[in-house]
């Protein structure tokens, strides 16, 4: 069955040949579409059915948990590694006498009380807490399938309109950032052109050298024709504008020489 054509955000793909102990030579593809990104691995054998690539969920979830702990630590918030004691023992707690706290969710409750819903800090604690439960209840194969489902759900929920809006916003922000510089470069190119035409004119008419307005009257036609040929503007410049631009161009290069 042919693939349905996709409109809108184009797919970018970078492929490289790698090696897997299980499959031998494999092709690793890093694919991006707007803000979406995934990795696909395919073996090079000519077989009817290709094995579905599933990442090592145990390793990936452990690495993700470490990143979440680092974030919470930096924010001064507790994690599953933080030693927490019940408030009723706060002033007389002795680990040898009272033992360790059995409630594995105690740190998470403190994080909830210390953060606001739907913030990065709260979501970091939520995700770490969920990962801890998954690691305790599921084996390695289960964790791989769970992690794959997490990744695909993330891509699914962000695809479509959300990805398009995010991509459009990033493009617009980039264009706004480039706008002033583009305008500045365009103006510099126009002044350079006017100065070049004026200097050629002054070689033939040295008596008008330095007379900006009179020079502008004489070179107006040549300037506007050159601007149109170099895509520096279709609307013709007035004599006064050419005179002012010529004056500024000379100031930028340090004089009439």
Domain parsing of the chain, residue ranges:
10-53, 55-158, 181-253
The pLDDT of residue 174 is 59
Q: Which residue carries 């004056």 as its tokens? A: 247
User: pLDDT tens digit string along 27-51?
Assistant: 888 888 887 888 888 887 776 667 7
- What lies within 8 Å, CB to CB, of 39 at 6+ separation is 28, 29, 30, 31, 53, 55
Distance between CA atoms of residues 176 and 182, nearest Å: 10
- What lies within 8 Å, CB to CB, of 238 at 6+ separation is none
Tell me the helices (H) and strands (E) count for the chain, helix number first: 8, 3
The pLDDT of residue 67 is 94
Contact between 195 and 249 (Cβ < 8 Å)? yes
- What lies within 8 Å, CB to CB, of 243 at 6+ separation is 212, 213, 215, 216
- Sign of the Cα pseudo-torsion (89, 95, 99, 104, in order): positive
Contact between 213 and 243 (Cβ < 8 Å)? yes
- What lies within 8 Å, CB to CB, of 165 at 6+ separation is none
Backbone angles phi, psi at 28, to 5 degrees: -100, 125
Count CB-CB contacts under 10 A for residue 6.
9
The pLDDT of residue 119 is 94
User: pLDDT tens digit string along 92-129?
Assistant: 555 566 555 556 788 998 899 999 999 999 999 999 99
Residue 246: Cβ-neighbour burial (10 angstroms; 0-12, 13-18, 19+): buried
Count CB-CB contacts under 10 A for residue 237.
19
- pTM score of the predicted model: 0.59
The pLDDT of residue 102 is 52
The pLDDT of residue 175 is 59
| Residues pairing with 29 in the sheet | 15, 40
| Residue in 27, 71, 33, 56 with CA at minimum distance from that of residue 156 | 33
Question: Which regions of the chain are under pLDDT 70?
Answer: 1-7, 23, 47-49, 84-103, 169-182, 234, 255-257
Count CB-CB contacts under 10 A for residue 211.
15
The pLDDT of residue 213 is 92
């Amino acid at each position: 069955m042919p693939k349905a054509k996709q409109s809108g955000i184009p797919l970018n793909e970078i492929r490289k040949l790698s090696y897997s102990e299980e499959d031998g030579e494999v092709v690793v593809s890093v694919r991006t579409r707007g803000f979406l990104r995934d990795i696909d691995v395919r073996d090079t054998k000519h077989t009817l059915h290709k094995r579905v690539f599933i990442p090592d969920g145990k390793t990936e979830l452990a690495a993700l948990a470490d990143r979440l702990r680092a974030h919470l630590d930096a924010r001064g918030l507790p994690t599953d590694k933080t030693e927490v004691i019940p408030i009723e023992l706060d002033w007389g707690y002795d680990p040898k006498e009272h033992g360790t706290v059995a409630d594995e969710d105690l740190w998470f409750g403190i994080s909830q009380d210390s953060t606001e819903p739907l913030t990065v800090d709260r979501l970091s604690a939520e995700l770490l807490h969920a990962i801890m439960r998954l690691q305790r209840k599921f084996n390695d194969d289960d964790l791989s399938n769970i992690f794959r489902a997490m990744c695909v759900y993330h891509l699914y929920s962000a695809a479509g309109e959300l990805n398009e809006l995010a991509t459009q916003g990033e493009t617009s922000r980039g264009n706004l950032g480039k706008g002033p510089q583009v305008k500045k470069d365009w103006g510099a190119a126009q002044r350079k052109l006017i100065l070049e035409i004026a200097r050629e004119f002054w070689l033939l008419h040295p008596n008008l050298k330095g007379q900006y307005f009179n020079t502008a009257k004489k070179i107006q036609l040549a300037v506007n024709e050159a601007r149109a040929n170099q895509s520096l503007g279709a609307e013709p410049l007035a004599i006064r504008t050419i005179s002012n631009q010529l004056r500024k161009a000379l100031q930028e290069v340090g004089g009439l020489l």
